[in-house]
Amino acid sequence: MNRTLAVAAAGMATQQLVLDDIAANLANVDVPGFRVSRADFAALITADGRAIAPQTAAPQRLFTQGRLDFTNNDHDLAVDGEGLFAVRTTGGQLAFTRAGNFESDRNGRLRLPNGAALDGVRLPAATTSVRVDENGRIACQVAGRRGDIPGGRVRLVTFDDNAALRLDPDGLFHPAAAAGHMHRASDNNPLGRIKQRYLERANVTVVSAMMAVLAAQRAYEANAKAVQAADEMLRLANNLERG
């Protein structure tokens, strides 16, 4: 009976974690480039090999393609493909993101709202317009100068396993041993097309998330009823022993 209570209680705790994970995904549905997380489960195995309850493993980030929305902002960039933008944090660390809502600062760096700057890119002073081709080459129109002036190149990167990258509170992905080696885009392997004046939206599917909420709530309620039933049976058994 104690085992029944333990399994049901563990099931309730698991479904609560699932609900928390879904809530976090839905809270970020409007964040450009956000990667949805999914709570995975592993079986809790006893010494004799019996699985007595599920437990959550570390949530996995899914790097499926998000919707690309046209913004008409020269500094907005999106990736159509598997690659990640490489950025430098305000502390100089190399990090990675799918967010592309960049803005130009007074030094010609393209920065995200959190201050991270697109690596390898610096626009010339007095730049009046920017053109970014699908391979990341940047051409600038500069006041008082004729023709296109290079502004650097956006080079995408990827890892052996992007899902194993560490997501920090700054909203950026950081290297992790489990992610394996980093691979930089090349002319022969561009890792995706860069789309100027587009933003990639979060790859959260609201309808699927709401269906998952309903399923988790039903599972939570079923486990709660199992706890109540087991508790009632224990109470009856104790009364019989006393009688």
Residue in 205, 169, 203, 187 with CA at minimum distance from that of residue 98: 203
pLDDT of residue 45: 44
Which mean pLDDT values do the consecutive 10-residue runs of the chain (243 residues) have?
Answer: 66 77 90 88 51 59 96 98 97 97 97 97 96 97 95 96 93 95 94 98 85 74 71 69 63
pLDDT of residue 49: 45
Interior angle at CA 153, CA 155 and CA 127, nearest 5: 145
pLDDT of residue 18: 81
Strand runs labelled E in 99-148:
103-104, 110-111, 117-118, 127-132, 137-142
Residues with Cβ within 8 Å of 25's Cβ and at least 6 positions away in sequence, in order, are 36, 37, 202, 204, 209
pLDDT tens profile 144-191: 999 999 999 999 999 999 999 999 989 999 999 999 999 999 989 999
